[in-house]
């Protein structure tokens, strides 16, 4: 039986009254100034992320409320209250200040999901330092490249990561003055002897806070600079897009080295004073379901890759557990295929709500919120405070598309608080991202008659075949409808007749094996659903598809390997290192 194109929401089904009930009304009434007034601000003026995330709760009625519930990979559990977290953050800030860290200095953090990471990030922010989180799986060269680009003064890590990642290049980072191994005896003595009180650095909204690196296609990674004022957007989007309420138990599965792991794994939930689950271990389907059940998670924010891995593991594992407290599931990292949205509805009892944003936007811009009807495959509608449109680039400038269902580049009206303020050392590249007051995202999309936005593909991913412009996401989503397919990645392969043909790389679910007969079935399925002009002409089976640790399928890497081209920056590639 064909599935409906819309999942209708019923107010009676919502387990709590959503923060955002009427999107249009809230958009009309919203202002960023009013959103700023929902936060406390620094005494005497100014704004600091660490103050909003920790201090204002630790000095108020939520001081004893659990901020972080840390689940060790070995099985131990540690609950950390807001008051306890504030003490650890202050000790870390004093330790950094004692090492000469001043406002504007760069502190790099290379840690797994451990409590010390949170103390380091927030302590550095209290000092007025700029924090650059790094993937714990980075090898020595990507680490060195980023520390040198960001002129890092301090690197916070662990003993094992130092031996595996840092030691080899320790003498090749000239600005680095200190390496702190947070599980070492020397660090522990310094930390324990540091005062648990700290006078926060006076920062203002435009002072730099985070430096997030994004992977380049062929050259060096880009360093996107964010500011303390971004916390206004983190708080607002935590309220609207993730629907955080005071007693929620929130779990963001993102690696802290990815911007989602800082914006929504650290800042937003703490700014709302909720309890966050922090799981040290890597993905394991049974462990994740057990966490949802035993930790009574209410709001879960994860990535399409994780959802596809759960789908691949089969619904039988999920049915061994119960999670009646779970009321909202959201996803980010790359567009969520419709099949995954429906899987959530059928297996978890809740549709998975996709949303869209970028490292450059700093926070969620477009989302499916709890009260909205969901159109599976759509990234939703712009949140309050966000003005989105579809544009075409012309020689004469930017033309805003007025009609619905016309593909073009997604653009946002510049000026929201979490918008990046520059690419480190690349002012010309930064300026090229803006035109006529708009931030040009580089993502192709369309808007339908109901105001929902639909992702088509990155501008450089779109396939041009015999005059047709084909978005890889649409093809991938159709392939995933087939019961054998776990994941699909689609590229354009040069062809002398039509320019490019569509080639798909497919990984299979358990119980299916690569075979010519299955390949023919997949090709026929795609032709039936998409038509001959859009369907793949070639399919190749792969045990797994290359993707970043943030969950994005690396189509440009599939294409480079297919065509024998340079593979570019692989520092964020998921896999053994």
Q: Burial letters for 36-63: b for 16+ Cβ neighbours within 10 Å, e otherwise?
A: beebeebeeebbbbbbbbbbbbbeeebe
Widest distance between CA atoms in the chain: 72
Cβ-based neighbour number of residue 507 at 10 Å: 19
Whether 78 is in a domain gets the answer yes
Based on the domain organization, do 35 and 151 belong to the same domain? yes
Q: Is residue 380 left, alpha or beta, with left meaning phi > 0 and alpha meaning psi from -120 to 50?
A: left
Based on the domain organization, do 195 and 287 belong to the same domain? yes
Q: Provide the residue range defining the domain that includes 522.
A: 461-563
Whether 79 is in a domain gets the answer yes
What are the pLDDT tens digits along the chain (577 aa)? 467 799 999 877 788 999 999 999 999 999 999 999 999 999 989 999 999 999 999 999 999 999 999 999 999 999 999 999 999 999 999 999 999 999 999 999 999 999 999 999 999 999 999 999 998 877 788 888 899 999 999 999 999 999 998 999 999 999 999 999 999 999 999 999 999 999 999 999 999 999 999 865 445 688 999 999 999 999 999 999 999 999 999 999 998 888 999 999 999 999 999 999 999 999 999 999 999 999 999 999 998 878 988 998 899 999 999 999 999 999 987 778 899 999 999 999 999 999 999 999 999 999 999 999 999 999 999 999 999 999 999 887 899 999 999 999 999 999 999 999 999 999 999 999 999 999 999 999 999 999 999 988 777 777 877 656 677 877 888 898 899 999 999 988 888 777 788 999 999 998 999 999 999 999 999 888 887 777 899 999 999 888 766 567 788 788 888 888 766 556 555 553 3
Interior angle at CA 333, CA 10 and CA 371, nearest 5: 15
Residue whose tokens read 């000239």: 174
pLDDT of res. 569: 56
Last residue of a domain, one of 392, 423, 447: 447
Helix (H, G, I), strand (E, B) or coil at 427: helix
Q: What is the DSSP letter of 338?
A: H
Number of domains in the chain: 2
pLDDT of res. 217: 44
Residues 6+ apart with CB under 8 A from 312: 486, 487, 509, 510
The tokens describing 498, both together, are 């039509």
Residue whose tokens read 């050392």: 425
Outline where DSSP puts E strands in 450-570.
453-458, 463-465, 468-470, 485-495, 499-508, 538-541
Beta partners for 16? none
Cβ atoms of 366 and 376 closer than 8 Å = no
pTM score, whole prediction: 0.85
Cβ-based neighbour number of residue 202 at 10 Å: 15
The tokens describing 48, both together, are 């600091």
Whether 214 is in a domain gets the answer yes
Whether 287 is in a domain gets the answer yes
Helix (H, G, I), strand (E, B) or coil at 31: coil
Whether 93 is in a domain gets the answer yes
Based on the domain organization, do 443 and 539 belong to the same domain? no
Distances in whole angstroms, Cα of residue 306 to Cα of each of 253, 310, 336, 539, 572: 9, 6, 11, 24, 17
**How many whole angstroms separate alpha carbon 357 and alpha carbon 355?**
7
Looking at 338-495, list the stretches that DSSP marks H as alpha helix, in order from N- to C-terminal side.
338-343, 427-431, 472-480
Based on the domain organization, do 490 and 419 belong to the same domain? no
Whether 229 is in a domain gets the answer yes
Based on the domain organization, do 209 and 251 belong to the same domain? yes
Based on the domain organization, do 75 and 174 belong to the same domain? yes
Whether 121 is in a domain gets the answer yes
Based on the domain organization, do 495 and 389 belong to the same domain? no
**How many whole angstroms separate alpha carbon 329 and alpha carbon 352?**
5
Based on the domain organization, do 353 and 233 belong to the same domain? yes
Residue whose tokens read 């003064």: 153
Based on the domain organization, do 253 and 333 belong to the same domain? yes
Output the DSSP codes for 125-171: HHTTPEEEE--TT--HHHHHHHHHHTTEEEEEE-HHHIIIIIGGGGG
Helix (H, G, I), strand (E, B) or coil at 198: coil
Cβ atoms of 147 and 170 closer than 8 Å = no
Last residue of a domain, one of 447, 470, 490: 447
- Going 67 to 69 to 154 to 210, the CA torsion angle's sign is negative
pLDDT of res. 576: 38
Cβ atoms of 128 and 102 closer than 8 Å = yes
Based on the domain organization, do 328 and 191 belong to the same domain? yes
Q: What is the CATH number of the domain that holds 489?
A: 3.30.300.30
Q: In what order do the strands lie in the sheet with 222-227?
A: 178-181, 152-157, 106-109, 130-133, 208-214, 222-227, 422-423
**How many whole angstroms separate alpha carbon 112 and alpha carbon 524?**
44
Based on the domain organization, do 241 and 385 belong to the same domain? yes
- Helix then strand count (H, E) for the chain reads 20, 27
Whether 577 is in a domain gets the answer no
In Å, how far from its chain's centre is CA 150? 21
Q: What is the CATH number of the domain that holds 162?
A: 3.40.50.12780
Based on the domain organization, do 469 and 346 belong to the same domain? no
**How many whole angstroms separate alpha carbon 491 and alpha carbon 560?**
10
**How many whole angstroms separate alpha carbon 118 and alpha carbon 417?**
23
Distances in whole angstroms, Cα of residue 511 to Cα of each of 11, 96, 309, 358: 40, 53, 14, 36
Last residue of a domain, one of 447, 473, 508: 447
**How many whole angstroms separate alpha carbon 377 and alpha carbon 41?**
39
What is the chain's length? 577
């Amino acid at each position: 039986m064909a599935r409906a194109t819309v999942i209708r929401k019923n107010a009676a089904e919502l387990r709590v009254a959503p923060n955002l009930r009427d999107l249009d009304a809230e958009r009309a009434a919203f202002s960023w100034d009013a959103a700023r007034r929902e936060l406390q601000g620094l005494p005497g003026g100014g704004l600091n992320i660490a103050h909003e995330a920790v201090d204002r709760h630790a000095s108020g009625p939520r001081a004893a409320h659990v901020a972080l519930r840390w689940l060790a990979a070995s099985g131990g559990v540690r609950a950390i209250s807001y008051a306890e977290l504030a003490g650890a953050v202050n000790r870390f800030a004093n330790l950094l200040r004692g090492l000469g860290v001043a406002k504007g200095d760069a502190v790099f953090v290379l840690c797994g999901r451990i409590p010390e990471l949170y103390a380091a990030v927030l302590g550095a922010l209290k000092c007025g330092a700029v924090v650059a989180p790094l993937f714990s799986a980075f090898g020595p060269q990507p680490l060195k490249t980023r520390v040198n680009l960001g002129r890092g003064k301090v690197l916070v890590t662990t003993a094992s990561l130092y031996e595996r990642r840092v030691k080899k290049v320790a003498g090749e980072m000239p600005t680095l003055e200190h390496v702190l191994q947070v599980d070492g005896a020397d660090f522990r003595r310094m930390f324990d002897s540091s005062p648990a009180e700290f006078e926060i650095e006076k920062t203002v909204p435009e002072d730099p806070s985070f430096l997030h690196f994004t992977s380049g296609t062929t050259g060096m990674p880009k360093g996107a600079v964010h500011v303390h004022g971004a916390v206004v957007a983190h708080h607002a989007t935590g309220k609207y897009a993730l629907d955080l309420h005071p007693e929620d138990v929130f779990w963001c599965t993102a690696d802290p080295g990815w911007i989602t792991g800082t914006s929504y794994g650290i800042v937003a939930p703490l700014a709302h004073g909720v309890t966050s689950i922090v799981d040290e271990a890597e993905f394991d389907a049974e462990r994740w379901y057990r966490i949802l059940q035993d930790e009574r998670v209410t709001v879960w924010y994860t990535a399409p890759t994780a959802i596809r891995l759960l789908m691949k593991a089969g619904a039988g594992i999920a049915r061994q557990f119960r999670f009646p407290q779970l009321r909202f599931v959201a996803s980010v990292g790359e567009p969520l295929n419709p099949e995954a949205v429906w899987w959530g509805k059928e297996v978890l009892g809740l549709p998975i709500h996709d949303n869209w944003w970028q490292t450059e936007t700093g926070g969620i811009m477009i989302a499916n919120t709890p009260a909205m009807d969901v159109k599976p495959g759509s990234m939703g509608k712009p949140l309050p405070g966000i003005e989105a449109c579809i544009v075409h680039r012309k020689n004469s400038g930017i033309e805003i598309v007025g009609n619905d269902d016309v593909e073009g580049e997604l653009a946002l009206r510049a000026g929201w608080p979490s918008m990046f303020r520059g690419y480190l050392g690349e002012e010309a590249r930064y300026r090229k991202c803006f035109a006529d007051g708009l931030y040009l995202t580089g993502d192709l999309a369309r808007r339908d008659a109901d105001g929902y936005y639909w992702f088509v593909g990155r501008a450089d991913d779109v396939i041009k075949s015999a005059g047709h412009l084909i978005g890889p996401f649409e093809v991938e989503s159709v392939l995933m409808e087939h019961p054998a397919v776990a994941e699909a990645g689609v590229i354009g392969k040069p062809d002398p007749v039509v320019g490019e043909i569509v080639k798909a790389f497919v990984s299979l679910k358990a119980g299916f094996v690569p075979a010519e007969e299955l390949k023919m079935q997949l090709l026929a399925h795609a032709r039936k659903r998409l038509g001959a002009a859009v369907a793949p002409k070639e399919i190749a089976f792969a045990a797994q598809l290359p993707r970043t640790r943030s969950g994005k399928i690396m189509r440009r890497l599939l294409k480079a390997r297919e065509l024998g081209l340079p593979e570019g920056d692989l520092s964020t590639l998921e896999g053994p290192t």
